[in-house]
Amino acid sequence: MIRIGVIGYGYWGPNLVRNFAELGRARLAAVADLDPKKLDLVARRFPAVKTTTNYQDLLSDPEIDAIAVATPVNTHFELGMAALKAGKHVWLEKPMTETSLQARKLVDEADKRKLILHVDHTFIYTGAVKKMKELVKDGELGKMLYYDSTRVNLGLFQRDVSVISDLAVHDFSILDHLLGEQPNAVSAGGINHFPGTPENLAYITLFYDSGAIGHVNCSWLAPVKVRTVLVGGAKKMFVYDDLQPSEKLKVYDKGVSFTDDPAQIYQMRVGYRTGDMWAPKLDEAEALRVEGEHFLDCIETGKPSMTDGRLGLRVIEVLEAATSSMKARGETIHLRQEKAL
């Protein structure tokens, strides 16, 4: 049985602890946090789990096989590297690290030690994104033309990362997963309305060699919470609304066609196709539970995670480019290309 230790019991840590504790193939061995009051909560709910204020206790425990890190992003590199050097498989919260240089070092260290380095891009494991990937792979969408996301709400304001790192990072990982390619250029505009805090509103545009274009609107200043993604293809179109209790994904048989045929051009150069809409059946399992099972599979088989360190690195590179563009008021930033797997 795989024994897992969790470092950090703040915002996301409780979700990880709950899921790891309920996985039948794993055992939640220990939880570390600097706040004794949070550890008291762990002890009351999971009395068999060890608690400590010193994360080194988890690294030095020879019975712990994997470490999940759910702490502020500025600690991810130090904790992730320490866990890898201690011979532990690693689960890192998103964003993976502060910089792509740090991310690349973690990838290299995991490769050298033949350890699993997994990044918690949870949306990849949702039923809706899994179904979209399936439909794209089967050719149902056709060539992807655009991806348009609105990911806004009121708060939660963070002091260590911008709204791009908090919200747009989800779309960067989904785009990487669906398209299988990195953007060749990124342009972004954003603003910080409150002195001393990171940008709270941003608009990001991503350009791809395939001709696809991605656009992400993210904000902590919206009066309502919206989580809607539109995906347009040459054959069909998707609407993904994560806040819908059912029918989160809808597939529309709609599109346009163009003709240069002289015999038809006098009638209409552009043709519009309107067909059926259908809502495919989705896997209703909790995404984090699916992800946890996948992490265990990777440890047992040695196969790379679907959201491994390399995907995490690619997301960080896009994040850095978007941040640089935002600081330069929308200047286009070109990226080095690395094919997604």
Q: What is the pLDDT of residue 256?
A: 73
188 with 205, same domain: the answer is yes
- pLDDT tens across 57-67, in order? 999 999 999 99
51 with 105, same domain: the answer is yes
Q: What is the pLDDT of residue 275?
A: 79
- Position 138 in a domain: yes
Read off the CATH number of the domain in which 65 is found: 3.40.50.720
Q: Which residues contact 91 (CB under 8 A, 6 or more apart)?
A: 16, 66, 67, 68, 69, 118, 119, 120, 295
- pLDDT tens across 161-220, in order? 899 999 999 999 999 999 999 999 999 999 999 888 899 999 999 999 999 999 999 999
Q: What is the pLDDT of residue 161?
A: 87
Q: Is the pLDDT of residue 321 over 60?
A: yes
Read off the CATH number of the domain in which 270 is found: 3.30.360.10
Q: Which residue has the tokens 């989160």?
A: 248
Let me know: does 232 contact 207? Beta carbons within 8 Å: no
149 with 83, same domain: the answer is no
Model confidence at 265, pLDDT cuts 50, 70, 90, reads low
82 with 171, same domain: the answer is no
Q: Which of 53, 82, 115 is the endpoint of a domain?
A: 115
Model confidence at 340, pLDDT cuts 50, 70, 90, reads very low
Q: Is the pLDDT of residue 135 over 70?
A: yes
Q: Is the pLDDT of residue 69 over 90?
A: yes
Question: For residue 138, what is the DSSP state?
Answer: T
Sheet holding 26-32, edge to edge: 50-52, 26-32, 2-7, 66-69, 89-93, 117-120
- What's the domain range around 239? 124-287+316-334
Residue 108 is which amino acid? D
Structure tokens at 273: 């196709």
Q: Which of 115, 139, 156 is the endpoint of a domain?
A: 115
- Position 311 in a domain: no
280 with 154, same domain: the answer is yes
Spatial CA neighbour of 270 closest among 258, 285, 279: 258
Model confidence at 259, pLDDT cuts 50, 70, 90, reads low
Let me know: does 202 contact 149? Beta carbons within 8 Å: no
Q: Is the pLDDT of residue 266 over 60?
A: no
19 with 149, same domain: the answer is no
Q: What is the pLDDT of residue 272?
A: 66
- Total domains in the chain come to 2
Q: Is the pLDDT of residue 238 over 60?
A: yes
Spatial CA neighbour of 324 closest among 72, 35, 101, 99: 99
27 with 155, same domain: the answer is no
Percent of the chain residues past pLDDT 90, beyond the cut: 88
- pLDDT tens across 6-56, in order? 999 999 999 999 999 999 999 999 999 999 999 999 999 999 999 999 999
- Position 324 in a domain: yes
144 with 253, same domain: the answer is yes
Please tell me whether the peptide bond between 72 and the residue prior to it is cis, using omega within 30 degrees of 0: no
Say how far apart CA 126 and CA 283 lie, in whole Å. 8
147 with 199, same domain: the answer is yes
187 with 330, same domain: the answer is yes
256 with 133, same domain: the answer is yes
Let me know: does 170 contact 123? Beta carbons within 8 Å: yes
244 with 135, same domain: the answer is yes
Q: Which of 115, 146, 165 is the endpoint of a domain?
A: 115
Spatial CA neighbour of 173 closest among 255, 95, 112: 95
Q: What is the pLDDT of residue 341?
A: 42
Model confidence at 308, pLDDT cuts 50, 70, 90, reads very high
More confident residue, 260 or 137: 137
Average pLDDT, the chain: 94
Q: What is the pLDDT of residue 273?
A: 63
Let me know: does 13 contact 33? Beta carbons within 8 Å: yes
